[in-house]
């Protein structure tokens, strides 16, 4: 993790052009990157795993470059001054494959018939050159050309499609600042389901049956294999209500639409991306068995995606919050109450060794303790502060840091302002600090 990213500059925008042949898994691409130097730069690095790099330019002039592992080291013909904006273009081609590591294979991965990209935490370099730091959020324009027989879904707003003889070119744009690991490409023979149409409005009535609030509903759709269409319609059927619940608890949904992809293959766990979540075929059974995961991935759009951790050590701010959202939805939808789930998990966690939530260590980033103890900490904070302060605190946390980056210290300070009391001891007692 420490060897990913380069803190000497920040990226403002990525413009990616991808030409992908599904059968041979062959990608030919060009990346244009607009960045701003922190200090004067005589050289800098990008993260890119595999591929043959055929050329690099900086501000239109050929630059020297070397490769070592997943690092592409670039030496501009002319140094970039401190604070200066510069443009980098990288041309590359090859057979994309996931980045291997302690969490398995992560990133661009071939499916039985198509492609899945799930990059958390270090998989983004498997398909484009990037500054692979979660805090370095940028806007994107991504163009993908591939076989017309397959649907292309990407984490962004669809701008245009253009069909050629046997291929289709898809153009997506993501205006909201986005971390590299939250960009995703999904290619497959999918059918689309409209869960919530783009023109739907939610009407809320007062006690006297007068209209109190009229709000445009968040458009929601799913892309699924044909054989799973019926099961997906059932299993994601309550997602629109889930969205309404989370908007009430956490504030407005931070993106323009929400897309769910169900792959033809099985996945160990679902994965969130910006404005998107990816589920395996094994997560859809027509009985709603995995509805808690639907809630978890949706909650990440607020906690993890809009609010992105400044560094991976703070991952409990993603996973603890999304887990607590599962519990909130369980109670809202008639399942076990938050208090009951908290009791169950408190008992289970008491049997496990301690762990510092604010810095669990690389080996424990996705440990169950990060998820459940994170949620238990939020529940304890709720009991301390009371609902009248706790839920406004959550909403303002999501609002004040919308599309930004956050740390544990940020959250502690935010919680103290709303609780009205010092909380250093509280967070220490709950294993956060």
**Residue 30 located in a structural domain:** yes
For residues 220 and 240, is the Cβ–Cβ distance under 8 A?
yes
**Residue 259 located in a structural domain:** yes
Question: Do 249 and 384 share a structural domain?
Answer: no
Structural domains in the chain (count): 3
For residues 1 and 362, is the Cβ–Cβ distance under 8 A?
yes
Its pTM stands at: 0.94
- Among 37, 256, 276, 271, CA closest to 157: 256
Question: Do 26 and 143 share a structural domain?
Answer: yes
Question: Do 226 and 374 share a structural domain?
Answer: no
Question: Do 154 and 50 share a structural domain?
Answer: yes
- Among 247, 123, 121, CA closest to 196: 247
CATH number at residue 122: 2.60.40.1730
Choosing from 232, 266, 301, the residue where a domain stops is: 301
| Domain that includes residue 111, residue range | 9-187
**Residue 2 located in a structural domain:** no
**Residue 337 located in a structural domain:** yes
Choosing from 266, 284, 301, the residue where a domain stops is: 301
Q: CA 370, CA 363: separation in Å to the nearest integer?
A: 11
Q: What residues have CB less than 8 Å from 236, skipping those under 6 apart?
A: 193, 195, 222, 260, 294
For residues 430 and 375, is the Cβ–Cβ distance under 8 A?
no
Tens-level pLDDT at each residue, the chain (433 residues):
668 999 999 999 999 999 999 999 999 999 999 999 999 999 999 999 999 999 999 999 999 999 999 999 999 999 999 999 999 999 999 999 999 888 888 999 999 999 999 999 999 999 999 999 999 999 999 999 999 999 999 999 999 999 998 999 999 999 999 999 999 999 999 999 999 987 766 655 555 556 555 567 899 999 999 999 999 999 999 999 999 999 999 999 999 999 999 999 999 999 999 999 999 999 999 999 999 999 999 999 999 999 999 999 999 999 999 999 999 999 999 999 999 999 999 999 999 998 999 999 999 999 999 999 999 999 999 999 999 999 999 999 999 999 999 999 999 999 999 988 899 999 998 888 7
**Residue 347 located in a structural domain:** yes
Report helix, strand or coil for 273. strand
CATH number at residue 243: 3.30.2010.30
Question: Do 316 and 219 share a structural domain?
Answer: no
**Residue 3 located in a structural domain:** no
Question: Do 178 and 236 share a structural domain?
Answer: no
Question: Do 288 and 203 share a structural domain?
Answer: yes
Question: Do 231 and 102 share a structural domain?
Answer: no
**Residue 70 located in a structural domain:** yes
CATH number at residue 386: 1.10.390.10
């Amino acid at each position: 993790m420490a060897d990913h990213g380069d803190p000497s500059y920040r990226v403002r925008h990525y413009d990616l052009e991808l030409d992908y042949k599904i059968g041979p898994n062959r990608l030919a691409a060009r990346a244009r990157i607009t960045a701003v130097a922190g200090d004067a730069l005589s050289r800098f690095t990008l993260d890119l795993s595999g591929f043959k790099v055929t050329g690099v330019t900086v501000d239109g002039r050929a630059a020297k470059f070397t490769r070592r592992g997943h690092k592409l080291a670039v030496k501009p013909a002319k140094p970039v001054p401190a604070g200066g904006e510069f443009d980098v273009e990288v041309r590359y081609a090859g057979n994309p494959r996931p980045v291997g590591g302690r969490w398995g294979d992560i990133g661009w991965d071939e499916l039985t018939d198509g492609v899945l990209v799930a990059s958390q935490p270090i998989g983004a370099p498997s398909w484009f050159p990037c500054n692979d730091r979660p805090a370095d959020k940028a806007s994107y324009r991504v163009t993908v050309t591939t076989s017309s027989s397959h649907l292309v879904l990407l984490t962004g707003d669809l701008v245009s499609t253009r069909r050629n003889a046997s291929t289709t070119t898809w153009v997506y744009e993501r205006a909201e600042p986005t971390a590299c690991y939250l960009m995703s490409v999904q290619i497959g023979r999918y059918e689309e389901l409209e869960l919530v149409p783009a023109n739907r409005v939610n009407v809320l009535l007062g006690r006297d049956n007068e209209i109190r609030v009229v709000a445009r509903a968040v458009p929601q759709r799913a892309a699924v294999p044909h054989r799973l269409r019926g099961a997906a319609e059932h299993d994601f059927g309550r997602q629109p209500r889930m969205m309404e619940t989370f908007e009430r608890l956490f504030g407005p949904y931070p993106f323009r639409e929400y897309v769910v992809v169900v792959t033809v293959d099985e996945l160990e766990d679902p994965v969130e991306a910006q404005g998107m979540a990816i589920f395996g075929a094994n997560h859809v059974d027509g009985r709603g068995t995995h509805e808690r995961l639907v809630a978890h991935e949706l909650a990440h759009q607020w906690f993890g995606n809009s609010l992105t951790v400044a560094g991976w050590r703070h991952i409990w701010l993603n996973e603890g919050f999304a887990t607590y959202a599962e519990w909130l939805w369980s109670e809202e939808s008639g399942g076990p109450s938050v208090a009951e789930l908290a009791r169950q998990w408190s008992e289970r966690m008491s049997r496990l060794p301690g762990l510092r939530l604010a810095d669990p260590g690389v080996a424990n980033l996705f440990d169950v303790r990060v998820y459940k103890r994170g949620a238990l900490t939020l529940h304890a904070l709720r009991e301390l502060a009371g609902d009248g302060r706790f839920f406004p605190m959550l909403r303002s946390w999501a609002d004040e840091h919308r599309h930004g980056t956050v740390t544990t210290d940020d959250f502690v300070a935010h919680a103290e302002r709303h609780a009205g009391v010092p909380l250093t001891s509280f967070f220490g007692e709950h294993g956060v600090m």
